[in-house]
């Protein structure tokens, strides 16, 4: 289907020139492009190997429009969505296209198709025709026709984001300039990344440089002196320059990774967290065991003699690669040989960010680019531990946290900016909105919030029908403030319905992100940061968790139900909802109802075309007492279809126990039984 679509496009493009591009691992439809009948002035281009900063066609510039010529057809064929994201960055070199054909050879089922989302007001008024089709073997084809031509990079970004939700994820706040081979790996999916020459200058947008920071890559030879005094530049080696072959005459494979900066992590190209992430995580524990090892000259993931994935030479795995190994119970990391230190680090970091359970022997010194937290985690579990479903998921979550925080694109560019002395935008402020009718639980609830880490937060405490001057409330608020956390207290009329009080609380919030919080449930110390990570990689308007752990207070019993997680789904726990404030504004806030405001909010988001994502549920434990819940179901609901149960209060290890209530201890917090 993909090859046929391109053949048809070549026949109908008239007398105009065609540029056919491919990117991603070779094989199948990607190699078939070379067999098509092309005219002498047509161009067949491997985007993945094209150095950033070098024009594709004669007369083409390196930034902005740059005098780029227009052609009748541009076709971009990617092996995966990850490769399509890389093509977005490289497409700044491509000419404007009257007919743009975008094809992806395989898209995993948990992703959407290639139906584009228009980029902005009036930008696509010239769109004449749009076609979207499924292709064989999970592929998709999208064709767009613009009589006056269109810029390829923003159009590719629009095609990608159409199937991935309206939100494009938080940016780094740094406009990137790129030069050199593999430079696109440093800023995948960025249509605003500016190609530059080896010495500059950075192109201007009117009177302002198009980039804040330039990242130059080198393949062994030293780069010339950077000449643009207005924009700083940092240099990094490609994975090819860091291969073992290039180092055998110096310090050999046992040497530590060479870096120019103080942090070896910042020497490694980041992973693309929008696609290399835990989405599609499989909780099965009966799958096979595989090895990340070497087969000939290439790193592979192999089980029982079968090669499941051939790791790209640069070490960057794709969403398709992750989809192929989701059924594996665990992957053992073999450090005996890889393409080189940087490629090996990128491969392991990609697997960890994808939530793939990994185990390893001692990590060699040359893999310091992983970062110490991830290095420690690789050796913290044994293969036998992965036979237990809960232990396997806990290990996966720890790995993905460490990898996404250390190796995500946003994290890397903020670190590069700090190295170059460029100020970075503060992390988003999360406003935790807590509405309660129970003064004796205020100290308990605030203690849960106070121990959150890896996130900036404030609290808006809505007291529904009672005064902040009550001793337990006053003491708890004072204790929370003494820890250095910001808190706003709102005394709401007890006659107002729950939804109205929540809207009043949101109105008093200062953050751009709002998180809903219950007064009597337990939250792990990384609950908010996990939600913020999933907000970044899912592109969803709302994120929340599945209801996995429940403490049945009447029975003194903890129940675990291993629900599916890490996929788009509207069934999330109301007390774990996290969303951008603008989303609340888009749907008119919470409905003024006494109960069911969470389900009604989620319904409104879906009706407005929003995307809801369910991440893992191991950082939250629901308390179920006898009465007083807005969600009324009997205890049998929690006892049916459970995976495991324990006597007493038994949180999983990611909960890290419980916090001591602030102020006067509340009697409702008493429990018995086991501990993590």
- Structural domain tally of the chain? 3
* Cα 512 to Cα 424: distance, rounded to the nearest angstrom: 17
Residue 351: phi and psi, rounded to 5, are: -65, -45
Per-residue pLDDT, 562: 86
The length of the chain, given as a count of residues = 676
Containing domain of residue 36, as a range?
Answer: 2-164
* Cα 266 to Cα 257: distance, rounded to the nearest angstrom: 11
What pTM, to 2 d.p., does this model score?
0.92
**646 plus 540 within the same structural domain:** yes
**508 plus 365 within the same structural domain:** no
The token duo for 195 is 């190609």
Q: Does any domain span residue 149?
A: yes
**104 plus 30 within the same structural domain:** yes
Q: Does any domain span residue 270?
A: no
Q: Does any domain span residue 588?
A: yes
> pLDDT tens-digit profile of 598-643?
999 999 999 998 999 999 999 999 998 755 444 455 666 667 777 7
Q: Is the dihedral of CA 306, 311, 312, 317 positive or negative?
A: positive
Cα angle 216, 219, 224; round to 5: 50
Q: Is the pLDDT of residue 63 over 90?
A: no
> pLDDT tens-digit profile of 456-508?
999 999 999 999 999 999 999 999 999 999 999 999 999 999 999 999 999 99
**587 plus 465 within the same structural domain:** yes
Q: Does any domain span residue 193?
A: no
Q: Does any domain span residue 275?
A: no
- Confidence band (pLDDT; 50, 70, 90) for 328? very high
**563 plus 640 within the same structural domain:** yes
> pLDDT tens-digit profile of 18-42?
999 999 986 566 678 878 888 999 9
Question: What number is the average pLDDT over the span 510-515?
Answer: 97
* Cα 361 to Cα 344: distance, rounded to the nearest angstrom: 15
Q: Is the pLDDT of residue 249 over 50?
A: no
**517 plus 567 within the same structural domain:** yes
**448 plus 567 within the same structural domain:** yes
Per-residue pLDDT, 483: 97
**145 plus 59 within the same structural domain:** yes
HEC sequence for 432-492: EEEEECCHHHHHHHHHHHHCCCCCEEEEEEEEECCCCCCHHHHHHHHHHHHCCCEEEEEEE
Per-residue pLDDT, 162: 80
- Residue ranges in 131-258 assigned as alpha helix (H): 152-162
Domain termination site, one of 132, 164, 196 = 164
* Cα 542 to Cα 540: distance, rounded to the nearest angstrom: 5
**18 plus 85 within the same structural domain:** yes
Q: CA 511: distance to chain centroid?
A: 21
**What is the 8-class DSSP label of residue 192?**
T
Q: Is the pLDDT of residue 367 over 50?
A: yes
Q: What average pLDDT is seen over the chain?
A: 89
* Cα 635 to Cα 552: distance, rounded to the nearest angstrom: 8
Characterize the bridge pairing of strands 140-150 and 194-195.
Answer: unpaired
DSSP per position, 68-82: PPEEEEEEEEESSHH
**What is the 8-class DSSP label of residue 13?**
S
Q: Does any domain span residue 237?
A: no
Question: What number is the average pLDDT over the span 311-334?
Answer: 95
**532 plus 570 within the same structural domain:** yes
Which residues on neighbouring strands pair with residue 414, listed in sequence order? none
User: What CATH code is carried by the domain that includes residue 614?
Assistant: 3.90.550.10
User: What CATH code is carried by the domain that includes residue 26?
Assistant: 3.40.50
The token duo for 432 is 């935790």
- Stated as kind and residue range, the H or E segment containing 503 is helix 498-507
CB-neighbour burial class of residue 612 (10 A; exposed 0-12, middle 13-18, buried 19+): buried
Which residues on neighbouring strands pair with residue 544, listed in sequence order? 614
* Cα 178 to Cα 203: distance, rounded to the nearest angstrom: 12
- Stated as kind and residue range, the H or E segment containing 389 is helix 389-407
Q: Does any domain span residue 67?
A: yes
> pLDDT tens-digit profile of 154-178?
999 999 988 776 676 788 899 999 9
**380 plus 322 within the same structural domain:** yes
Domain termination site, one of 114, 133, 164 = 164
Q: Does any domain span residue 674?
A: no
**580 plus 643 within the same structural domain:** yes
Q: Is the dihedral of CA 402, 407, 409, 413 positive or negative?
A: positive
Per-residue pLDDT, 252: 42
Half-sphere exposure of 628 (CA within 13 A, CB side): 12
Nearest Cα residue to 444 out of 630, 656, 670: 670
* Cα 242 to Cα 17: distance, rounded to the nearest angstrom: 38
């Amino acid at each position: 289907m993909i090859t046929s679509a391109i053949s048809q496009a070549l026949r109908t493009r008239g007398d105009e020139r065609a540029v056919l591009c491919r990117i991603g691992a070779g094989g199948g439809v990607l190699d078939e492009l070379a067999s098509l009948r092309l005219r002498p002035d047509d161009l067949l281009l491997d985007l993945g190997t094209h150095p950033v900063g070098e024009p594709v066609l004669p007369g083409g510039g390196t930034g902005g429009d740059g005098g780029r010529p227009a052609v009748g057809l541009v076709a971009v064929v990617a092996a995966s969505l990850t490769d399509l994201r890389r093509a977005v960055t490289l497409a700044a070199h491509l000419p404007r296209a009257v007919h743009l054909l975008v094809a992806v050879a395989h898209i995993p089922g948990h992703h959407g198709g290639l139906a584009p989302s228009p980029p902005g007001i009036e930008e696509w008024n010239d769109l004449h025709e749009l076609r979207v089709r499924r292709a064989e073997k999970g592929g998709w084809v999208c064709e767009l026709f613009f009589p006056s031509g269109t810029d390829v990079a923003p159009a590719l970004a629009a095609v990608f984001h159409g199937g991935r939700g309206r939100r494009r994820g938080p940016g780094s706040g740094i406009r990137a300039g790129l030069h050199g081979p593999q430079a696109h790996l440093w800023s995948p999916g960025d249509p605003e990344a500016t190609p530059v020459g080896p010495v500059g200058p950075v192109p201007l947008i009117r009177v302002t440089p198009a980039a804040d920071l330039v990242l130059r890559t080198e393949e062994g030879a030293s780069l010339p002196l950077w000449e643009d005094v207005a924009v700083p530049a940092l240099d990094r080696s490609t994975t090819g320059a860091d291969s073992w072959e290039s180092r055998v005459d110096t310090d050999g494979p046992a040497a530590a990774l060479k870096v120019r900066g103080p942090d070896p992590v910042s020497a490694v190209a980041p992973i693309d967290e929008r696609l290399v992430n835990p989405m599609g995580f499989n909780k099965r524990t009966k799958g096979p065991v595989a090895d990340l090892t070497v087969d000939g000259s290439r790193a592979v993931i192999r089980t029982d003699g079968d090669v499941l994935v051939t790791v790209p030479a640069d070490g960057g795995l794709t969403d398709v690669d992750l989809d192929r190994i989701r059924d594996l119970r665990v992957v053992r990391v073999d450090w005996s040989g890889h393409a080189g230190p940087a490629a090996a680090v990128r491969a392991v970091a990609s697997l960890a960010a994808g939530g793939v359970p990994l185990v390893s022997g001692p990590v060699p010194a040359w893999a310091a680019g992983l970062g110490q937290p991830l290095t420690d985690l690789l050796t913290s579990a044994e293969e036998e531990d992965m036979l237990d479903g809960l232990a396997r998921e806990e290990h996966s979550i720890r790995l993905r946290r460490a990898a996404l925080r250390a190796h995500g694109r946003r994290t890397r560019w903020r670190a590069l900016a700090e190295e170059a002395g460029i100020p970075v935008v503060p992390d988003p402020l999360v406003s935790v909105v807590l509405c309660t009718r129970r003064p004796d639980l205020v100290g308990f609830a605030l203690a849960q919030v106070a121990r959150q880490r890896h996130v900036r937060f404030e609290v808006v405490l809505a007291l529904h029908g009672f005064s902040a001057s009550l001793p337990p409330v006053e003491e708890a608020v004072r204790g929370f403030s003494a820890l250095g956390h910001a808190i706003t207290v709102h005394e709401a009329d007890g006659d107002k319905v729950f939804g109205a009080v929540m809207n009043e609380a949101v109105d008093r919030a200062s953050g751009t992100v709002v998180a809903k919080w219950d007064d009597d449930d337990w939250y792990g110390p990384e609950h908010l940061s996990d939600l913020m990570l999933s907000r970044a990689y899912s592109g969803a308007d709302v994120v929340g968790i599945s209801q996995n752990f429940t403490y049945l207070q009447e029975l003194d019993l903890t129940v675990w139900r291993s629900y599916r997680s890490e996929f788009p789904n509207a069934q999330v726990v109301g007390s774990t909802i996290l969303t951008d404030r603008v989303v609340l504004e888009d749907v008119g806030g919470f409905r003024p109802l006494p109960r069911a405001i969470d389900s009604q909010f989620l319904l409104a988001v879906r009706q407005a075309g929003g995307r809801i994502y369910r991440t893992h549920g191991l950082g939250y434990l629901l308390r179920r007492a006898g009465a007083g819940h807005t969600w009324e179901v009997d205890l049998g609901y929690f006892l049916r279809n459970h995976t495991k149960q324990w006597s007493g209060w038994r949180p999983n290890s990611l909960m890290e126990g419980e916090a001591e209530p602030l102020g006067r201890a509340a009697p409702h917090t008493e429990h018995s039984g086991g501990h993590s």
